[in-house]
């Protein structure tokens, strides 16, 4: 008769733990071959049936490797930075990127190791893991991203958060910190960082807004204000995604959250208030983002021309 497996220690780190952590708590190697334990990769394990996140894997690796720091695309995802589709998703079994001061560790299917020095401002230690700081992460992404995507990440890192929705009231970093990161970066992507830095703005709230703003710039339009409140004759006209106040033209991008009945009603009422005060509201959707926001920019250009702007 087969013996029942002994329960795993409740003190075993969850949800992902390393082989040495298990052995130190008296778990024998044979116990880790049971069906209620799944192997994540290398010498990492988890209780079967649990949903594993990238942070879970990184947290374990940071415990196992005392000097390891999440970097590159892994750090960007942990910062919830907007990445292109081929870099944005992580599923159990995918690898992670870690930086180690000596760089002496061999890459595996689970970990891509990077070597590099980190200054005191280049790393953030959370309760679970160590991650490269927002400016360092932004600089490390330079060889991997196109210009618009690099600007979108910069915009995300310096944007003003909405405390009621995000639980924080300070941006992840500042323009001056991004400038310092760009200045100190001498490897691949140094030129791209300098070019992107000149285009990063504090006001953009989403990658779509960034793409539309950059599209307007390429279309030869005046640079719009981003998410600035409009008050006219005691009436609050809201904070358009982009606006050209002198010409009374604004642009609102309709993302998925605008499709709820309640939000749609608020958007319609706001558009009516703006119209009463002489504003043109250009409403864009996903098709307007193609070719770097060109379609949306041309629609904004048409509205500006109708209100008297001349190139």
Mean pLDDT over 255-279 rounds to 88
* Other Cβ atoms closer than 10 A to 61: 23
Predicted model pTM: 0.91
Query: pLDDT tier at 258 (50, 70, 90 boundaries)?
Result: low
pLDDT at site 50: 87
Give the 3-state secondary structure of residue 159: coil
Output Rg (C-alpha) for the chain, integer angstroms: 24
In angstroms, the CA 123 to CA 109 distance is: 25
Query: pLDDT tier at 248 (50, 70, 90 boundaries)?
Result: very high
CA distances (Å), 19 to each of 60, 110, 287, 305, in order?
Answer: 10, 15, 49, 66
Asked which of 89-98, 103-112, 239-248, 276-285 is least confident by mean pLDDT, the reply is 103-112
pLDDT at site 151: 98
- DSSP run (H or E) holding 300: helix 290-306
In angstroms, the CA 298 to CA 228 distance is: 22
Domain parsing of the chain, residue ranges:
16-52, 71-87+109-197, 207-306
Asked which of 41-45, 224-228, 240-244, 286-290 is least confident by mean pLDDT, the reply is 41-45
Give tens-digit pLDDT for 95-107: 999 998 776 677 7
3, pLDDT greater than 60: no
Both tokens assigned to 263: 């939000």
Task: Indicate the burial class of 30 (C-beta count within 10 angstroms; 0-12, 13-18, 19 or more).
Answer: exposed
Total residue length of the chain: 311
Query: Under CATH, which number does the domain 207-306 receive?
Result: 3.40.960.10
Mean pLDDT over 68-83 rounds to 97
* Other Cβ atoms closer than 10 A to 25: 14
90, pLDDT greater than 50: yes
Beta-bridged to residue 225, according to DSSP, are 243
pLDDT at site 104: 67
CB 240 within 8 A of CB 227: yes
- Rounded mean pLDDT of the chain? 92
Give tens-digit pLDDT for 122-175: 999 988 999 999 999 999 999 999 999 999 999 999 999 988 778 888 999 999
In angstroms, the CA 107 to CA 214 distance is: 38
In angstroms, the CA 15 to CA 60 distance is: 9
- DSSP run (H or E) holding 114: strand 111-115
CB 133 within 8 A of CB 125: no
pLDDT at site 133: 97
Selection from 139, 141, 136, 41 nearest residue 91 by Cα: 41
Selection from 247, 244, 239 nearest residue 205 by Cα: 239
pLDDT at site 42: 81
Both tokens assigned to 141: 């992404």
1, pLDDT greater than 50: no
88, pLDDT greater than 50: yes
Query: pLDDT tier at 4 (50, 70, 90 boundaries)?
Result: low
Give tens-digit pLDDT for 18-31: 999 999 999 999 99
251, pLDDT greater than 70: yes
Asked which of 160-174, 192-206, 238-252, 296-310 is least confident by mean pLDDT, the reply is 160-174
Give tens-digit pLDDT for 51-70: 999 999 999 999 999 889 99
Both tokens assigned to 51: 């949903």
């Amino acid at each position: 008769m087969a013996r029942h497996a002994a329960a795993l220690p409740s003190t075993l780190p969850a949800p992902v733990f390393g082989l040495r952590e298990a052995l130190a708590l008296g778990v024998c190697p044979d116990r880790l071959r049971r069906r209620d334990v799944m192997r994540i990769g290398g010498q990492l394990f988890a209780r079967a049936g649990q949903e594993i996140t990238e942070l879970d894997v990184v947290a374990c690796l940071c415990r196992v490797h005392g000097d390891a720091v999440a970097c590159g695309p892994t750090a960007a995802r942990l910062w919830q930075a907007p990445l292109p589709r081929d870099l944005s998703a992580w599923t159990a079994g995918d690898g992670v990127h870690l930086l180690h001061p000596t760089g002496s560790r061999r890459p595996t299917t689970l970990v891509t190791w990077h070597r590099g020095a980190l200054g005191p401002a280049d790393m953030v230690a959370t309760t679970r893991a160590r991650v490269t700081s927002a400016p360092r992460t932004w600089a490390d992404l330079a060889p991997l991203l196109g210009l618009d995507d690099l600007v979108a990440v910069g915009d995300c890192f310096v944007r003003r958060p909405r405390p009621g929705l995000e639980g924080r009231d300070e941006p992840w970093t500042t323009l001056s910190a991004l400038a310092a990161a760009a200045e100190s970066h001498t490897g691949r992507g140094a030129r791209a960082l300098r070019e992107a830095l000149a285009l990063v703005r504090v006001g953009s709230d989403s990658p779509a807004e960034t793409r539309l703003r950059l599209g307007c710039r390429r279309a030869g339009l005046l640079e719009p204000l981003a998410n600035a409140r409009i008050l006219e004759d005691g009436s609050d006209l809201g904070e358009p995604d982009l606006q050209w106040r002198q010409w009374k033209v604004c642009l609102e991008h309709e993302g998925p959250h605008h499709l709820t009945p309640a939000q749609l009603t608020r958007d319609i009422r706001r558009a009516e208030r703006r119209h009463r005060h002489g504003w043109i509201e250009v409403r864009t959707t996903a098709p307007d983002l193609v070719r770097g926001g060109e379609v949306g920019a041309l629609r904004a250009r048409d509205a500006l021309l109708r209100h008297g702007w001349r190139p």
